[in-house]
Amino acid sequence: MPSRLTLLLLTLLFLPACSTPRAGTPHPRRGDEIMIAGQLFHTNGARVKLWFDQGGYDAYRIERRFAKWPEANWEATQKSGKLPQPERFGLRFAKSLSEDQLAVARAGPWPLDLLRDKVDQFIIHYDAAGTSRSCFRTLHDERGLSIHFMIDLDGTIYQTLDVQERAWHATTSNDRSVGVELANIGAYPFARDDANNIIMPATLARWYTQDRTGWHITLPSWVGDGGLATRNFVARPARDQPITGTIQGEQLAQFDLTDAQYTALIKLTATLHSVLPKVTLTYPRDQHKKLITTKLPDDQLATTTGLLAHWHIQTNKIDPGPAFNWDRVIRGAHRELHRYPPAP
């Protein structure tokens, strides 16, 4: 009879073989992963659809996603004159990488250390399309642009490209930034009545209605069902009134994001900062610690890291608008990482 020691040694010998998955065994995913430089990283429970998932949005594809199939390919698109080139993204820092770095970047996923050294901004947009499906149609099919992430009204995160790619979304910051489009119809100039109440801008009036609970989105007929991953989702702004503020010197009104969107964005922000530490948990403030609401001077932009608005990059942009709650995102991201949030 073999001794106990012999049995233990035999068990340890065969344990690795028993734990090796059999050929053809699917590799499990939790569904909260984003991809950075070919690696999957968890987001602590956010609902994520990658570009190769069913129901995802794929910015690597040349064909137009929503065109009729015979008209979707590049040859038909080129003849129609709708887009200038087939690709919607590029290579980060293509003009400044060393020859060795360029060779590595072209051969496969970027080394994570190289990406960590180069990427230091997270640009926040609203899509002005209202839903992520409409946003992707506009970017991919109509404008030939791209974005790394979209967050729909129900908080679903769609990743359309690996973070290593140079998405086309923020002009001079494309090389160094990650971009996200938040489903929100946008911010608009407004007037006031004799009682100083806001006269609702026409676009907001088409998208938002009130019931006994408060304001909520009613999708216009041309949007269809919106393509939301959550059936029968009722999209209510996190704050139950239009938010007003001045962006680029113009008074604007906007409804806030949904709570589900903030939850998803907080998890995404924390994950990006954890993997890419130069994307700091900060946003541009003036000497009084107030949010800067105009474009940053070029020399200041060159040294600014962390979360930025599209308006910080370009004078002709106002997104993510006056309703965007910067402190909620920053403080929430700190909590996700089990850190004490900074003082306001």
Q: Where are the domains of the chain?
A: 33-188+255-336
How does DSSP classify residue 39?
A: E
Instruction: Give average pLDDT by consecutive 10-residue segment, the chain, 344 residues.
Output: 60 59 89 98 98 98 94 90 91 93 91 96 99 98 97 99 98 98 98 92 97 96 95 97 98 99 99 98 98 99 99 99 99 91 66
Of 135, 137, 140, 133, residue with least CA distance to 86: 140
How would DSSP label each residue in 105-117? HHHSSPPHHHHHH
- What CATH homologous superfamily does 33-188+255-336 map to? Peptidoglycan recognition protein-like (3.40.80.10)
* Calpha distance 106→109 (Å, rounded): 8
Which stretches within the chain are classed as H helix? 4-19, 69-72, 74-80, 99-107, 112-118, 132-136, 202-207, 259-275, 298-301, 326-336
Query: Which residue carries 């496969």 as its tokens?
Result: 108
How would DSSP label each residue in 236-295? -BSSSS-EEEEETTEEEEEPPPBHHHHHHHHHHHHHHHHHSTTS-S---B-TTSPBP-SP
- Whether the CB-CB separation of 50 and 33 falls below 8 Å is answered with yes
Spell out the residues 6+ positions from residue 192 whose beta carbon is closer than 8 angstroms to its own: 198, 199
Report if pTM > 0.95: no
Task: Quote the pLDDT of residue 6.
Answer: 62
* Calpha distance 129→138 (Å, rounded): 8
- Whether the CB-CB separation of 329 and 341 falls below 8 Å is answered with no
CA atoms lying within 13 Å on the CB side of residue 288: 3
Provide the 10 A C-beta neighbour count for residue 104: 15
